[in-house]
Structure 1
Amino acid sequence: MNTAVPASEKPAAPRIDGLSRIADGYDLLLCDVWGVLHNGLAAKPAAVSALSSFRQGGGTVVMITNAPRQRKSVFAQLAKLGVPSGTFDTVVTSGDVTRSLIAQGPAKILHIGTEKDLNLFEGLNVELVGEDEAEVVVCSGPWDEQTETPEDYTPLLARLKDRGLSMICANPDIVVELGDRLIYCAGAIAREYERLGGKTQIAGKPYRPIYDLALSEAGRIAGKTFDSKRILAIGDGMPTDIAGAAAYGVDALYISGGIHAQEYGAPEEPDHNLVGRFLAGHDAHPVAYMPRLEW
């Protein structure tokens, strides 16, 4: 007799009112940046306070982001958005781990993305060329992230696919918050390329390379090796942050008021049952959830 409980009937992850409720169980936080620490326009003070408090209690905080740039640009961006020093120990980006994929590939690159992402190629022996000369595609996002959709790229992607070019995706995110709206990221374009039959290479969340780099950096900073049972990943993206934590074998805290907030009611007061159904529908099992990160 099968006594298994259907996923839809299992209890939802508990809602907690602060990171302090579970912080004693962890030594290292791998925290998402965009959607948790800021919304693209300004820092979130409650999240700043939560991460700072965790560090003041002796914990280590590594920000782990799918930003398609080297970490130095993220440091600068966070400072500009008002994130004070002392909030975290370091940053690891999708751009950091993607650079190794670029270095191993062909030298002539068609870059799909904005000028602010060009430091992705800094110091690498590559040449940015047009469509006809390209031997590989590197996508860091839309050329115009304010207005373009993945469908705008379908004709170009179809031509690139017909030539057999591989796409290196520097940001696996599908969308991110920009203030009170969502904008498309490189992951959405890579998904369209895959739909057309194109081959993609991805190293950011939810894939292992970015987590390996984050743990390496954390160990260097703290001078010790972290037990996976005492690592907590924090994020608002189901296919990136939460799926990545599960695949890597670490606990996750789900921030429900991020990119999926419309799935279960008001961002600050989500319907608990709808959150449970949403998590079950994604076979996701975070240790807890909260609408926004706070202490």
Structure 2
Amino acid sequence: MTSPLPAIAGLADLAGRYDAVLSDVWGVVHNGVSAFPSAVEALVRYRQTGGSVVFITNAPRPSAPLIEMLDRLGVTRDAYDAMVSSGDATRVMIGKYAGRPIHHIGPPTEDDALYEGLNVRRTGADEAQVVVVTDLDSDDDTPEMYRERAKLWLARKLPMICANPDRVVEHGDKIIYCGGALGDLYAAMGGMVLMAGKPYQPIYEEAFRLAELAAGKPLDKARVLAIGDSVRTDATGAAQFGLDLLFVTGSIHAAELDAFGKPDPQTIADLIAPSRATVAGFLPRLNW
């Protein structure tokens, strides 16, 4: 059995140990509808102490439109130095299909920025050479609803590029499925699935590079803190890249962990343990 984890009052308890933070966004800084004011304040104050903050997100769009979205949600730009998204990393994969047909799964126009300048042509699955998944077509969809469509992709041996490795995300007071859940279904059926976002190395390497640029000096991984709410992506990614983790319990795992009631540190430790993450602490919502 793993050792119980330390509950902390806020980021201030850890700030002196770390020169930079790589923070998840959705579920940590906002819930898809509005910003969490305490989280924004915590990151602003951390930067005021001299720390650098890079947002690292599995959102399936390039950073520029995501920054505009954060503005609308109330995440002020003084809360972070830079951002890298799964969309940024995924564009490299999609670029290999320049001039060729691709089949898009996800909101029909919301993710247009993902393809800008890549010279790919969206078609039906019967013509495409690859399936690109940003999210499910609707927030009410479940992965199982795509099984029949996936049989065609599999029959044609189409690889899948999954621009959002997250399985679920908090949206207001609901938990909705993300592209990663469809990627899991396709992989279980025998399909080839490619991902570049968390927990995979490319997105962490770019986030670390941006953190060093913001800090103006080389950084020691032992002094860089990852913040996230997902065991599968944030905890696993932090462990594989060699970063400590601050775990936010009050998002996608809130119900099972009784995050806003009487959370049991041992239960939280057991949940995170398979990731092998080194956990600096946990709290229900990021705050200072």
- Structure 1 distance, partners of 2:252, 2:78, is 26
TM (normalized to structure 1)?
Answer: 0.94
Where 2:77 maps in the other structure, the secondary structure is: coil
- Structure 2 distance, partners of 1:288, 1:32, is 15
Deviation per CA, 1:23-72: give whole Å up to 9, x if none.
10101100000000001111001100110011001110000000000101
Matched, 1:43 2:45: no
Question: Which residue pairs with 2:145 in the alignment?
Answer: 152
- Structure 1 distance, partners of 2:284, 2:47, is 21
Asked whether the equivalents of residues 175 and 188 of structure 1 are also in contact (C-alpha less than 8 Å), the reply is yes
| 1:283 CA displacement | 4.4
Asked whether the equivalents of residues 225 and 243 of structure 2 are also in contact (C-alpha less than 8 Å), the reply is yes
Paired residue type of 1:244: G
Question: Which residue pairs with 2:226 in the alignment?
Answer: 233
Instruction: Please point out which of 52, 57, 67 is paired with 2:59.
Output: 67
Report the more deviating stretch, 77-86 or 204-213: 77-86
Question: Which residue pairs with 2:194 in the alignment?
Answer: 201
Question: Which residue pairs with 1:5 in the alignment?
Answer: none
Q: Which runs of 5+ in 2 are unaligned?
A: none
Question: Which residue pairs with 2:161 in the alignment?
Answer: 168
- Structure 2 distance, partners of 1:169, 1:33, is 19
Report the more deviating stretch, 94-103 or 125-134: 125-134
Question: Which residue pairs with 1:127 in the alignment?
Answer: 121
RMSD of Structure 2 on Structure 1 (CA)? 1.3
Q: Aligned pair count?
A: 286
| 1:285 CA displacement | 3.5
Deviation per CA, 1:206-258: give whole Å up to 9, x if none.
00000011112222233222111111000001000110000001111111111
- Structure 1 distance, partners of 2:55, 2:209, is 13
Instruction: Please point out which of 129, 140, 143 is paired with 2:137.
Output: 143
| 1:123 CA displacement | 0.7
Where 1:86 maps in the other structure, the secondary structure is: helix
Paired residue type of 1:222: A
- Structure 2 distance, partners of 1:136, 1:274, is 41
Question: Which residue pairs with 2:213 in the alignment?
Answer: 220
Report the more deviating stretch, 268-277 or 230-239: 268-277
- Structure 1 distance, partners of 2:135, 2:282, is 29
| 1:205 CA displacement | 0.1
Matched, 1:101 2:70: no
Question: Which residue pairs with 1:247 in the alignment?
Answer: 240
TM (normalized to structure 2)?
Answer: 0.96
- Structure 2 distance, partners of 1:109, 1:268, is 47
Asked whether the equivalents of residues 251 and 287 of structure 1 are also in contact (C-alpha less than 8 Å), the reply is yes
- Structure 1 distance, partners of 2:271, 2:201, is 25
Percent identity over the alignment?
46
Instruction: Please point out which of 75, 79, 84 is paired with 1:83.
Output: 75
Report the more deviating stretch, 147-156 or 210-219: 210-219
Asked whether the equivalents of residues 268 and 291 of structure 1 are also in contact (C-alpha less than 8 Å), the reply is no
| 1:268 CA displacement | 5.1
Distance 1:285 1:227, change over 3 A: closer
Distance 1:30 1:282, change over 3 A: closer
Matched, 1:273 2:266: yes
Where 1:274 maps in the other structure, the secondary structure is: helix
